[in-house]
Structure 1
């Protein structure tokens, strides 16, 4: 299919749409995936008194959250989209012009932003159906309530995606899923991240449809959706007063937890070494040795290189007083000891994730340089300590944790990216390919982002082969950055399709005095990972506090507590 083939009709309920939807239109027009030919205006649904009260409550919540955490909800700001349009056809739903549009125009896709039930006449008139955004579980269409239930219920991720309605289907068909991390502190930050991320969904999917064609597009969509075990449910009513009270309770509990941690805990990224295992056991970290730096710094993002019989670990070192990471290296000895760290690369901007690969007999290093908006590559002049700048592989990008793989005659780059500052840099995995790893002409994969889940997207170490299969470590950043680690089996990798399946995962959640892990470096005999080490000032008492907190944070336990407390209170006051 060629670009600009798709003729698109937009359905709105007025001149004003949300700011994130306006950004979607800008990116749609810039993507070359289609051309907007018409706009249909629908009459907004009348709001009952209950809906108005609920809407007012959450407006107050958004305002308070924005003031307390300096996080206003800009994505929901109403903006006029009329000045973005060129020569398009305007009509009101069910008018004569509307009937003329559906009868005389060839339409491929309808994008419905109203949140109402799709127009049956439009469904019957467009080739690829009516596309709508949804969010949450159960799903909802209007962005004014996004993220409320997830925050109140302490869920780690906010689901969002795109569905389409066709004449032959009684329920809409999901064609894309994504998740964003629920911010543990601010409800508004989770909402902002979700909505601005959603702005890319339809432009990207239309671009994919244009590149790979209808048959392969829907095959790929079906394969991606199998990773999401969610039913096709819809919210029957918006959240109300009870949900507001639960949000306020979480604000209070978050404050208490933050105060407790500041008084009685200290967390520090460290390194762990253990014997290398197979793909199904790499995430278990059953037997390991902790390499703990001095308390004025942390170590993270380890990569193992075996050179001339010696084992070296390259990693990020960040001294708290400086606030900017640099790259360092240690040599591991046979008895488990290690040499003093040596700084190998330092810049005015932040460096981390020292991915090292070998090409034509030469070592190269790609650090994470997102702060400089580049993907840089360095060549080794004297292993392991002297590295010189070679070139920029990409410029004007915000890219994190670039990871290269040579496969099937091509070089592939897996990298986490974000397209808006309010979005997390850990929730969208982009894939590119080129003829050689030093190329500056990297081709974007049509399925980008090939993984759009907060719990699975961001690279977590080098891709490795076992038993003829490729495995990709990835970070679990759902709820909090660096929460855990996944090992994903790559099922298919070519220029039109990417598929993977998670085979093992590890989330420490306090086990072994660790509260996070996010990068795995593999050698032939040893594996090195990083972890958040918990320094407990209260010792065993702190562990009991954590257990009690986990018990009462579980919704079922809270309900049992209430059921038991009410009769006990009645007996107390009546004896």
Structure 2
């Protein structure tokens, strides 16, 4: 694209009367982007169906299930009261900003081809480069012929049939591990779309949250590829492989979902009195120490570490100092609902002398330790401060001072630093629309980070199965390995992956999954999401459903 030239954008929205948070975000991204110009909003009214109209649209071809649909939508009204759609932008401000943008209405009625002629003629006059469709909605093939780069559409699920049921529901009732989002392209008036890119996100245990969160997160997939087009206007898609149909809610699946939903509500409800009366903690993380080489050791023989009744411990990092071993970890209080960084020494495979290292008025976790030129640094997750913070050791192990800050105004998760055999310094971190699904890589000069160069592929991954970091990059038999969380099955930190780094440059990144560790090494565990080791000793964390 020529320098200074903007891509002329139209946005196709399923329901112009009831915009969702993700749609407001989409509009804001386009309006604020220096290389994009929002020229027109294309849509249709809800037809009186109200704020759930987008779900009616997804069921437009379903036959004979009117009663079931009404029952499901009655349930959704109740579910929506429990889950309030969170706002990440100011809707009033966005509406004011686009007050001068032209609006055009098209009809989904394919039985009356003349109905849209006037609208299509106007869209052609505007001279759009690209139309973005924000949902699994009707896109007339002839519309794509009027636009230079066609229609780009975020499609939720792998079934490319309109009226296939609300996305997010199928993944829950069939217990799929994750939700798939396709970025597809219709161009030249062709009915068959092409695949631009795809992403994977963890589902939640209830539909409304899965539905809204996935749509918001998928904007990261869209704008990653818009940046590709800005850099290279010749980006094209590839043929899409056939996929299984998603589930249209019939009686069996509807009752399966509602049974699961209300059982989970009951589970959450009883957990509060269980803690207050019996100090039984729900979703409680704990640390497990093991001796030997992690690749050869039996993790089932690792030793669970005792901890106070009102805490959980997670995100452990190991270090050796003066012949002694220490562990730094996230120390979460069930009373204050916030975590700090604590540390303790290790003797006879037990953690002792636990004391606080960092305490802030925001949540702290993932205390990644880095030693360079004889100086020890700590890079914790400090998302609540909306920046990355690096601390320098004043007196080991309990005294630290702020050394530098970076990525101001961004929520940064699980930063992992390492220096390769060439002496190049790298940051692996999680941020973006979904920190559990997006991995970013940067090359830096030092931990002052006066020079930070982003990887050309950023975000390198948009994949809940391998994006989020899970411990220090380590060297084993002359190869580098990166641990990662596998956020699947509707559970945070469900499994742990170990990946061999095969290629790492500023333009390429390739790794190979070598091993998956499941939370089956101790009874009662449902998740495992951090691993670290030093010679002769390793540590993992595990999450008990109840403890």
Under a length normalisation based on structure 1, what TM-score does the superposition of the two structures give? 0.77
Give 1:139 shift.
4.8
Q: How many residues align?
A: 514
1:505 equivalenced with 2:527 (yes/no): no
Query: Could you tell me which residue of structure 2 aligns to residue 471 of structure 1?
Result: 481
Structure-2 separation of matches of 1:246 and 1:168: 41
Query: Could you tell me which residue of structure 2 aligns to residue 269 of structure 1?
Result: 285
Structure-1 separation of matches of 2:349 and 2:374: 29
Give 1:14 shift.
6.6
Query: Could you tell me which residue of structure 1 aligns to residue 322 of structure 2?
Result: 308
- Post-superposition Cα deviations, 1:497-548, rounded to whole Å, max 9, x if no partner, equal 4343422212215744433211111213221111124667xxxxxxxxxxxx
Query: Could you tell me which residue of structure 2 aligns to residue 200 of structure 1?
Result: 220
1:6 equivalenced with 2:19 (yes/no): no
Structure 1 window deviating more from structure 2 (383-392 vs 246-255): it is: 246-255
Within the candidate set 325, 338, 344, 1:330 is matched to 344
Query: Could you tell me which residue of structure 1 aligns to residue 299 of structure 2?
Result: 285
Query: Could you tell me which residue of structure 1 aligns to residue 382 of structure 2?
Result: 369
Question: Conserved in 1, the CA contact under 8 Å of 2:220 and 2:432?
Answer: no
Give 1:204 shift.
2.7
Query: Could you tell me which residue of structure 1 aligns to residue 540 of structure 2?
Result: 529
- Taking the TM superposition and a 5 Å limit, the aligned residue runs for 1:414-563 are 414-419=428-433, 425-439=435-449, 442-478=452-488, 479-508=490-519, 511-533=522-544
Question: Conserved in 1, the CA contact under 8 Å of 2:120 and 2:143?
Answer: no
Give 1:131 shift.
1.2
- Taking the TM superposition and a 5 Å limit, the aligned residue runs for 1:318-397 are 318-333=332-347, 335-397=348-410
- Taking the TM superposition and a 5 Å limit, the aligned residue runs for 1:396-411 are 396-407=409-420, 410-411=424-425
Give 1:393 shift.
1.8
SS in 1 for 2:285: strand
Give 1:58 shift.
3.5
Query: Could you tell me which residue of structure 2 aligns to residue 188 of structure 1?
Result: 208
Change (3 A) 1:491 1:42: farther
Alpha carbon RMSD of aligned pairs, Å? 3.9
Change (3 A) 1:160 1:433: same
Structure-1 separation of matches of 2:102 and 2:468: 40
Give 1:303 shift.
0.8
Question: Conserved in 1, the CA contact under 8 Å of 2:14 and 2:137?
Answer: no
Structure-1 separation of matches of 2:14 and 2:544: 52
Question: Conserved in 2, the CA contact under 8 Å of 1:24 and 1:203?
Answer: no
Structure-1 separation of matches of 2:334 and 2:383: 19
Change (3 A) 1:360 1:73: closer
Question: Conserved in 2, the CA contact under 8 Å of 1:7 and 1:107?
Answer: yes
Give 1:91 shift.
8.1
Give 1:65 shift.
0.9
Give 1:364 shift.
0.9
Within the candidate set 295, 298, 311, 2:312 is matched to 298
Question: Conserved in 1, the CA contact under 8 Å of 2:164 and 2:245?
Answer: no
Query: Could you tell me which residue of structure 2 aligns to residue 239 of structure 1?
Result: 249
- Post-superposition Cα deviations, 1:72-98, rounded to whole Å, max 9, x if no partner, equal 5889xx999796275669586852673
Query: Could you tell me which residue of structure 2 aligns to residue 133 of structure 1?
Result: 154
Give 1:189 shift.
1.8
SS in 1 for 2:415: strand
Question: Conserved in 1, the CA contact under 8 Å of 2:141 and 2:191?
Answer: no
Structure-2 separation of matches of 1:237 and 1:269: 34
- Post-superposition Cα deviations, 1:196-241, rounded to whole Å, max 9, x if no partner, equal 2123332232013323x367x66xx98xx9xxxx953374884344
Change (3 A) 1:236 1:327: closer
- Post-superposition Cα deviations, 1:105-158, rounded to whole Å, max 9, x if no partner, equal 765433234745544444445454421111124356679822122222333422
Question: Conserved in 1, the CA contact under 8 Å of 2:61 and 2:162?
Answer: no
Structure-2 separation of matches of 1:468 and 1:94: 64
Question: Conserved in 2, the CA contact under 8 Å of 1:376 and 1:393?
Answer: yes
Judging by fraction of residues, say which structure has more helix: 1
Structure-2 separation of matches of 1:170 and 1:143: 17
Change (3 A) 1:491 1:161: farther
Structure-2 separation of matches of 1:151 and 1:449: 27
Give 1:379 shift.
0.6
Structure-1 separation of matches of 2:497 and 2:120: 50
Give 1:275 shift.
3.6
Question: Conserved in 2, the CA contact under 8 Å of 1:147 and 1:190?
Answer: yes
Query: Could you tell me which residue of structure 2 aligns to residue 147 of structure 1?
Result: 168
Structure-1 separation of matches of 2:243 and 2:533: 42
Question: Conserved in 1, the CA contact under 8 Å of 2:7 and 2:37?
Answer: yes
Structure-2 separation of matches of 1:14 and 1:514: 43
SS in 2 for 1:331: strand
Structure-1 separation of matches of 2:189 and 2:310: 63
Under a length normalisation based on structure 2, what TM-score does the superposition of the two structures give? 0.80
Structure-1 separation of matches of 2:146 and 2:166: 31
1:66 equivalenced with 2:80 (yes/no): yes
Give 1:351 shift.
1.5
Query: Could you tell me which residue of structure 2 aligns to residue 553 of structure 1?
Result: none
